[in-house]
Structure 1
Amino acid sequence: MPQTGSIKADVVIIGAGSAGMSAYKSARNFTDSVLVIEEAHYGTTCARVGCMPSKLLIAAAEAAHHANHAGRFGIRVSQVEVDGRAVMARVRAERDRFVGFVLEDVEGWPDAHKISGSARFTAPDRLMLDDGTAIEAGRVVIATGSRAVWPAAWNALGDRLIINDDVFDWDDLPASVAVFGNGVIGLELAQALGRLGVRVKLFGRSGRVGPLTDPGVTEAAHAAYAAEYRFSPCAEILAVERQGDQVVVSEKVDGRDIEERFDYLIAATGRRPNLDRLGLQHAGIALDENGTPVSWDRRTARIGESTIFLAGDAAPDAPLLHEASDAGRIAGENAARFPFVAPRHRRTPIGVVFSDPQIAMVGQSHAQLRQAKASFITGSVDFTGQGRARVAKRNVGRLNVYAHPVTGKFLGAEMVGPAAEHIAHLLAWAVEADRSVQQMLDSPFYHPVIEEGVRTALRAARDAMHERSPAHRPCLDCRPAA
């Protein structure tokens, strides 16, 4: 849309990522007076610099890893050579293909529904673009996403400091990288680059491993990753500085000062919602000390009693594409139908880290249950001896499932282990269906499959429940005749 002095729309959406695109499509079902403002690139973080390019890098890393370890099965493979330029060429080409599909979608929108610029509130129903264009909005959907953050002192590293976005524009693989941040991005990138022949060290600070909160599962995850590459979840960093074209990291290890040089430092130290430049104070929105709206309803996407809605990574919600798309759909519908605002169903939480072994989080986490002071029992399985996992030499990791000690209702799970991305879906569906542990055990389990490990954990949960409340032991033989 060409910029003019003043524009008016029923629904104005700021941001055209996953949440913004979903909000637009949803709002169009109820009104044609929609305007999308985008200051940078149309399309999603997932397609450009997130889920898809990272999985392309991981796929190449897995191919190299399997070839290098084929000898475990008695298969002899000649020396494996990683062509860094070819690896990155495929990553960029396929990434651009995914982005292209998104852009084709946006190109199909009417020009009158799109405008470029950076927006700020001047009133609850008014916005101003950086070129001076005034916009009168009936309702506003904020879907501005988030951005990477890192310690300000690291800016002295110049072009030796990069974030995950920059990795996927490499023409070739570097010789070495220091990855800071033991969250999802750090775990995935560190392992993938290490398997592709890059000298890697992953530095953490919190002691956690990705999103895991269960101490037993966290311990299993750290043991699995540390056996493959150097991973310090509680690194004691003394200094990070640039010397020439390298980054020098100084840390204390076992009481000794260690210094190591790397070609790059990848900052995977967290992300910040892109809310600070919107002028929300002019919209009458109460903010907390972090600049985030105090009152936000996850089921309506509405901020307090305002006419402003919030969705995607900019919201205090899980930074995942499917969550952003769901929230965007809800925000777009409620903004378009305002003043009718309806709470909508939000799906059972599910999260996956595509490391090896994979990590999965389903339903309520261990930390959430503890924080809520909920009564729950835990059933566990160690995959070391699990049959199918051992056959494939993927027998590493642990699954902990959580259930109510009296009703047996399945509450959630944390896992590190084989096929976690698939097991996570089965467990999420069980939470969504409000199933009990016994009902899950009554479901089919084939042999030999990795899912038999899930059955082991569920049986352990059932046994723990019986030991705790014998009076509530179900009669397993009292089922109706077929």
Structure 2
Amino acid sequence: MSEHDLDVAILGAGTAGMTAYRQARKYTGRVALIDGGTLGTTCARVGCMPSKLLIAAANARHEAQQAGPFGLEVGDVGVDGRAVMKRVREERDRFVGFVRDALEGFDQSNIIRQNARFADNNTLVLEDGSKLTARATVIATGSRPHIPEPFEVAGDRLITNDDLFDREDLPASVAVFGAGVIGLELGQALHRLGVRVRLFELGDNVGAITDPDMRACAQEVLGAGFPALWNAETEIDRDGDEIVVTWTAGGKRGEERFDYILAATGRRPNLDRLGLENTTVEVNDHGIPLYDRQSMRAGDCPIYIAGDAAADLPLLHEAADEGRIAGENAAHFPESYRKTRRVPLSIVFSDPQIAVAGESHADLTARDAAFRIGSVWFEDQGRARVMRVNQGLLRVYGCEKTGLLLGAEMFGPAAEHIGHLLSWVIADHLTVEEILDRPFYHPVIEEGVRTALRNLNTALGFAPPPPARSIDCGPGG
């Protein structure tokens, strides 16, 4: 019998924590899932699913309004904000219910509905003052919205994605701060649903894009679709029930009043109340534990970390992968195994969509990789023009020495699907020539991928330039 109360303690019952629990239970029954907060994953409650519900409503209205050039008669498409938000809440609650059902399926004797903090590497203190010891612990406590200090003046007129989906009606006007994933998706969706929106980005960020040429393209296209300012300097004041934003951007200055501020300025891991200072875990300047992302172990401690708490890639599939690795290793502690991680894939459900597969432009530049670039603009891509979704740019990156496809960034139509396609061929370690040997149907948007790959193959020195123009692909073959 172990000298500890538990073999594995898991802090947090979100995606990473639930996955870690399932994995640890394969090897030991002496496991506790500890969480005193609201049950239901970030994805189901306030993230992926409710945001896609709002986006679906927004895109349905937008597509109807844009049908005129097809020769269709389109009238005004009204918005019943209460009906929109009712469906968002009901479907959101349905998804949360699935998570709760899964938790109810766990052995309830293994679930502790309290929060905990470390007294030392192996000892946890619960809210009721009781203590328990664990041979190994997995931190999977998730994250919460980061609220910059200047926003505090907004008081009850400040909302985050954690608040938005509980509303019974759409707001009349919102100042959205941040052009990351949350800001772009929610800002554009609210605009398309008739909310007066202006997005403010203090830097030049656009979702997950790191390629400078693509970032410039995305700023231009998105800025033409709804009011958005990059590299903005802002001052925020409150006047009664109104938020006053004074801004300077692009050599212009303006002032606008809004009902609310939507803070989409990132999320911070829930680590500050865990008592990490009582452990031997080393942390960086932001208080994040230093850990090996192949094993999820923090140094040589009996402590592992997974999901949003790790502040690495705040994506559901990454949280599940990290939970699986951390749960298995915690159950085997003191043995700890390093696992190969999947090819990175991130998607932003803006319109046009954004996808980054494999190594990004920034990744390759940071490691001083010898790579070449192939591009395609979608303006004249055949199928994209047919559907009137012909905006955006795809850039693919190949290794100069081997001809392998290393990564890609995309701002354009069907990026959520093309991102998967590219991540799969990168995972299979295919060269650009080998990918070009795969079938490409006509007419499909994926023919644009072929154009980019042909241009990359030329840049790598493996083929002559493609035809100047082809009816299936537009310029570049």
Fold shared by both chains (TM-score > 0.5): yes
Please name the residue that 1:381 is paired with: 376
Please name the residue that 1:150 is paired with: 147
- Asked if 2 retains the 8 angstrom alpha-carbon contact of 1:405 and 1:469, the reply is no
- Matched residues in 2 for 1:48 and 1:15: separation? 15
Please name the residue that 2:272 is paired with: 276
1:122 deviation in Å? 0.5
What SS does the aligned partner of 1:223 have?
Answer: helix
Instruction: Identify the range of structure 1 (344-353 vs 149-158) with the bigger mean alpha-carbon deviation.
Output: 149-158
Matched, 1:220 2:212: no
- Asked if 2 retains the 8 angstrom alpha-carbon contact of 1:273 and 1:313, the reply is yes
Please name the residue that 1:159 is paired with: 156
What SS does the aligned partner of 2:461 have?
Answer: helix
1:153 deviation in Å? 2.9
1:256 deviation in Å? 4.8
- Asked if 1 retains the 8 angstrom alpha-carbon contact of 2:153 and 2:236, the reply is no
- Matched residues in 2 for 1:405 and 1:331: separation? 36
1:9 deviation in Å? 1.3
Instruction: Identify the range of structure 1 (70-79 vs 261-270) with the bigger mean alpha-carbon deviation.
Output: 70-79
Please name the residue that 2:469 is paired with: none
Matched, 1:115 2:90: no
Please name the residue that 2:475 is paired with: none
Please name the residue that 1:136 is paired with: 133
Query: What letter matches 1:247 in structure 2?
Result: I
Please name the residue that 2:261 is paired with: 265
CA RMSD of aligned residues (A): 1.5
Matched, 1:252 2:245: no
Which 5+ residue runs of structure 2 have no aligned equivalent? Answer: 466-477
- Matched residues in 2 for 1:351 and 1:273: separation? 19
1:252 deviation in Å? 2.0
Query: What letter matches 1:75 in structure 2?
Result: L
Alignment of 1:6-17 (within 5 A): 8-17=5-14
1:292 deviation in Å? 1.2
Please name the residue that 1:331 is paired with: 326
CA displacement, residues 257-303 of structure 1 (integer Å, 9 cap, x when unaligned): 41100011000111111111111121111112211123x11111111
1:81 deviation in Å? 0.6
- Matched residues in 2 for 1:59 and 1:171: separation? 17
- Asked if 2 retains the 8 angstrom alpha-carbon contact of 1:8 and 1:137, the reply is yes
Matched, 1:173 2:170: yes
Please name the residue that 1:3 is paired with: none
Please name the residue that 2:293 is paired with: 298
Pick from 84, 101, 105 the counterpart of residue 102 of structure 2.
105
1:254 deviation in Å? 5.0
1:468 deviation in Å? 11
Matched, 1:452 2:451: no
- Matched residues in 2 for 1:253 and 1:364: separation? 32
1:341 deviation in Å? 1.6
CA displacement, residues 424-470 of structure 1 (integer Å, 9 cap, x when unaligned): 00100011000100000001100000000000000000011118999
- Matched residues in 2 for 1:377 and 1:367: separation? 13
Q: TM (normalized to structure 1)?
A: 0.94
- Matched residues in 2 for 1:249 and 1:53: separation? 28
Alignment of 1:203-214 (within 5 A): 203-214=200-211
1:117 deviation in Å? 1.8
What SS does the aligned partner of 1:112 have?
Answer: helix
Matched, 1:48 2:45: yes
- Matched residues in 1 for 2:450 and 2:208: separation? 24
Pick from 82, 85, 98 the counterpart of residue 82 of structure 2.
85
1:253 deviation in Å? 4.2
Cα 1:19/1:104, change in 2 over 3 Å: same
- Matched residues in 2 for 1:98 and 1:56: separation? 11
Please name the residue that 1:4 is paired with: none
- Matched residues in 1 for 2:150 and 2:197: separation? 22
Query: What letter matches 1:38 in structure 2?
Result: D
Matched, 1:26 2:23: yes
Matched, 1:422 2:417: yes
CA displacement, residues 320-355 of structure 1 (integer Å, 9 cap, x when unaligned): 000000100111111112222221221000000000
CA displacement, residues 221-255 of structure 1 (integer Å, 9 cap, x when unaligned): 11111111011121121x10111111110112454
- Matched residues in 2 for 1:324 and 1:366: separation? 24
What SS does the aligned partner of 1:384 have?
Answer: coil
Pick from 388, 391, 397 the counterpart of residue 392 of structure 2.
397
Please name the residue that 2:309 is paired with: 314
1:216 deviation in Å? 1.0
CA displacement, residues 56-80 of structure 1 (integer Å, 9 cap, x when unaligned): 0000001000111110211112221
Aligned residues: 462
- Matched residues in 1 for 2:251 and 2:397: separation? 39
- Matched residues in 1 for 2:42 and 2:422: separation? 27
Matched, 1:182 2:179: yes
Which 5+ residue runs of structure 1 have no aligned equivalent? Answer: 1-6, 471-482
Query: What letter matches 1:449 in structure 2?
Result: V
Please name the residue that 1:200 is paired with: 197
- Matched residues in 2 for 1:208 and 1:269: separation? 11
- Matched residues in 2 for 1:257 and 1:461: separation? 42
- Matched residues in 1 for 2:246 and 2:74: separation? 38
Q: Which runs of 4+ in 1 moved over 3 A?
A: 253-257, 467-470
- Asked if 1 retains the 8 angstrom alpha-carbon contact of 2:135 and 2:333, the reply is no
Please name the residue that 1:347 is paired with: 342
Matched, 1:285 2:281: yes
- Asked if 2 retains the 8 angstrom alpha-carbon contact of 1:209 and 1:233, the reply is no
Query: What letter matches 1:164 in structure 2?
Result: N
- Asked if 2 retains the 8 angstrom alpha-carbon contact of 1:405 and 1:468, the reply is no
- Matched residues in 2 for 1:411 and 1:374: separation? 10
What SS does the aligned partner of 1:361 have?
Answer: strand
Instruction: Identify the range of structure 1 (7-16 vs 453-462) with the bigger mean alpha-carbon deviation.
Output: 7-16
Pick from 414, 424, 436 the counterpart of residue 431 of structure 2.
436
- Matched residues in 2 for 1:187 and 1:413: separation? 20
Query: What letter matches 2:395 in structure 1?
Result: N
Pick from 71, 78, 81 the counterpart of residue 74 of structure 1.
71
- Asked if 2 retains the 8 angstrom alpha-carbon contact of 1:202 and 1:231, the reply is yes
Q: What fraction of aligned residue pairs are identical, expressed as a percent? A: 56
- Matched residues in 1 for 2:22 and 2:162: separation? 27
